[in-house]
Structure 1
Amino acid sequence: MTDPITIGVDGSGRSLRALLWAAHDAKLRQCPLRIVHVLPQLHSYATTGEGRAWEASNWDEGVTTEATAVVREAHPDLDVISALPTGNPAAVLLAEAERAHTIVLGAKGMGGFGSLFLGSVALQVVGHAACPVVIVNHLTTGHGRVVVGADGSPHSMAALAYAFEEAALRGAQVQAVHAWSHPGPHAYVSAAQDAMAKEHLQALQGWLAPLREAHPQVEVVEQVPDEPPVVALARASDRADLLVVGSRGTGGFHGLALGSVSHHLLQFSQCPLAVIRPRE
C-alpha cells in the first residue's frame, strides 16, 4: 500500500486549512489520506477498550467525522482513513511519520498539539519526523510557484528533490533560492562581490543540474540574493504556493534537530512550509 499523507486535526479553522492542503496533495500523489486526531492519555485506563471508549467522546469522534466528510465532498474518489489514537501527541505523530509519506499540521489550533505550534510538540515533530512535515499557516493557491532554499547540504538536497517533485505534480515553477551574505558594506557593488555572486550561482546550478535532468518539464528560476536566508525565503514565500527547506543547513551544529533558518521560517513563512530531512 502506498504511504499515506497523514494530517493531524483538532477541529479548529487552521486545522481545516491544513486538511484541505493535505487532501489536495494526496489527490495529486494518488495516495491515501490518513486523518488523525490525538486523544491525550489522561487516565491510567485510557488504553483499555473501556477507557478509549470513554475518552473518545462524541466531540472527538465528531472531529474526524467532520474532517472525513469535508474531504469526501471535495475529493469523492480519495481513499480516506481516520484514527483516534491515545497518547503523547509528539510520540503519536512521530510514530505516524514512520509509515507516512508526509505529516501535515496546522500552524495553531484550539487544543491538542496544534496549539503548541511553536512549543515542544510541533518542534519535535518537525525536527525528528522520518518523513517530510508540512506546516500550514496561510493557505495560498494560484501562484504556480514552489520556492526552495538551497545551500548544498544533504538536508538542502533532500529539500530540492521534494520541491521538484511537488512542482511536477502541480505543474508549477521551482524558484531555487541560494541566499548568501557579502562580508563588506552593501552601499556599492564591487568586482569582488560580483565574482562571489557568480560563484554562488554556479554552485546553485550544479545542485540543480540532476534534478533538472530528472524533471525536464519543470521551469526553474535561480536566485542568489545577497541577504540572510530567512529574509530572502520569507519574502519569496509571499508569492508561492509552497516553501521548502531542509531541517538543517550548512550553518547548523551537529546534533541539532532543527536549524535556525527552518525554525524562524515556521513563524515568518507566508505560505505552507515543508521541512525536509534526508531519509535514513
Structure 2
Amino acid sequence: MPAPIIVGIDGSAHAWRALDWAADYAVRHRLPLRLVHGSRALAPDGTIPEDALRRLTAERESLLDEARQYALKLHSGLDVTTRLVPVDPGRALVDESGNAGLVAVGSRGLGGFEGLLFGSVGLYTASHARCPVLVVSRSAPYPADAPSRIVVGVEGRPGDDAALDWAFAEATSRGAGILALHAVGGDLAPRRRVIEDMELAEALAGRREHHPDVGVEEVVSDRSPSQALVESSRDAALVVVGARRRAGLIGMALGRVNHAALHHAHCPVVVVPEGR
C-alpha cells in the first residue's frame, strides 16, 4: 500500500493552507491523503460526561469531513481518508509518520521577524517525525502560485544527502529549479571560496546526472546559514533543510538553522530527517 500523505487538521486557517499543499503533493506523487485530528479531550476516560464526549466527537468528525470535501473539491480523483485520534495532536501526527511519505502541518503566524511563528505541535512533529515534515504558514501562496525554485541548505556533511535527494525529487515533480545554498557565515577570502565551492560541488555530485531536467544554481554565501535561508525563501516555493538524529535520544536535533527556517521563512519549509 502506498505511503499516505498526512495532514494535521484543527480547523484553523493555517491548517487549511497546509491541506492545500499536502493535497497538491499527494496528487503529483499519486499518493493517498489522510486527514488527522488529534485531541486528548476525545479520550473516553471519564474526564467529561459521555453525552458531551459524543457531541465533541461528532463536532470533530464534522470538521474532518469538511476538510475532506474541500480536498476533493480541489482534486476530485484524490484518495482521501480521515482519522480521529484521542491523543495530543503532535503525538497523533508523529505516530502516523511511521508509515507516511510526508506529514504536513500549519504554522501559526504572529508577524514580524522577532515573532514566534511556529507552534508547539509543529515543532514537536518536526523534531520527532520519522518522515519528512512540510510546514506551511497561512501566508504561503497556493501551490500553483508558488515560485518555480526550491532552496536547499547544504552544510557539506554526510547528513545533507537525504535533504538533497528529497529536494531534487521534488524539483523534478514540480518542474522547478534548485538553489543549492552553502552559507559559511564569515569572510570568503579567495582561497576559502575555492574550498567551499569544491565542497558544494562535491555534495551535489551525481545529482545533476540523475535529474537532468532540473536547473541547479550553486551559491556559496558569506551570510550566516540562518540569514541566507530566510532571505532566499522570499522567492522560493520551498526551503528544504536536513535534520540529524540525536545520539542516544529519540527524534531529530533541530539546531539554530532549522529553527530560523521554521520560524521565519517566507515560504513553506520541509524538514528531512537523515537516513531517508
Q: TM-score, normalised by structure 1?
A: 0.85
Q: Partner of 1:143 in structure 2?
A: 147
Residues 40-67 of structure 1, C-alpha deviations (whole Å, 9 max, x = no match): 24655379xx799626533211211111
Q: Partner of 1:77 in structure 2?
A: 77
Aligned pair 1:214/2:213, yes or no?
no
Distance 1:40 1:52 in 2: 14
Distance 1:172 1:146 in 2: 7
The equivalences for 1:13-32 within 5 A come to 13-32=13-32
Which amino acid in structure 2 is aligned with residue 139 of structure 1? Answer: A
The equivalences for 1:187-202 within 5 A come to 193-202=189-198
Distance 1:8 1:100 in 2: 13
Which amino acid in structure 1 is aligned with residue 164 of structure 2? Answer: L
* 1:181 CA displacement: 2.4
What secondary structure does 1:247 align onto?
strand
What secondary structure does 2:253 align onto?
coil
Distance 2:73 2:179 in 1: 33
Distance 1:266 1:51 in 2: 40
Distance 1:182 1:208 in 2: 22
Distance 2:16 2:269 in 1: 16
What secondary structure does 2:21 align onto?
helix
Distance 1:275 1:254 in 2: 20
Which amino acid in structure 2 is aligned with residue 73 of structure 1? Answer: K
Distance 1:118 1:267 in 2: 5
Which amino acid in structure 2 is aligned with residue 150 of structure 1? Answer: V
Aligned pair 1:171/2:161, yes or no?
no
* 1:164 CA displacement: 0.4
- Cα distance, 1:146–1:79 mapped onto 2, change above 3 Å: same
* 1:248 CA displacement: 4.1
What secondary structure does 2:68 align onto?
helix
User: Could you tell me whether the CA contact under 8 Å between 1:5 and 1:34 is conserved in 2?
Assistant: yes
- Cα distance, 1:254–1:239 mapped onto 2, change above 3 Å: farther
Of the structure 1 ranges 252-261 and 164-173, higher mean CA displacement relative to structure 2 is found in 252-261
Residues 206-248 of structure 1, C-alpha deviations (whole Å, 9 max, x = no match): 1111211211111101000111001001000000011000124
The equivalences for 1:4-83 within 5 A come to 4-41=4-41, 44-45=44-45, 54=54, 56-83=56-83
Tell me how many residue pairs correspond in the alignment.
262
Q: Partner of 1:158 in structure 2?
A: 162
Q: Partner of 1:112 in structure 2?
A: none
Q: TM-score, normalised by structure 2?
A: 0.87
User: Could you tell me whether the CA contact under 8 Å between 2:179 and 2:218 is conserved in 1?
Assistant: yes
Gaps of 5+ in 2: 110-115
What secondary structure does 1:263 align onto?
helix
Gaps of 5+ in 1: 110-115, 184-191
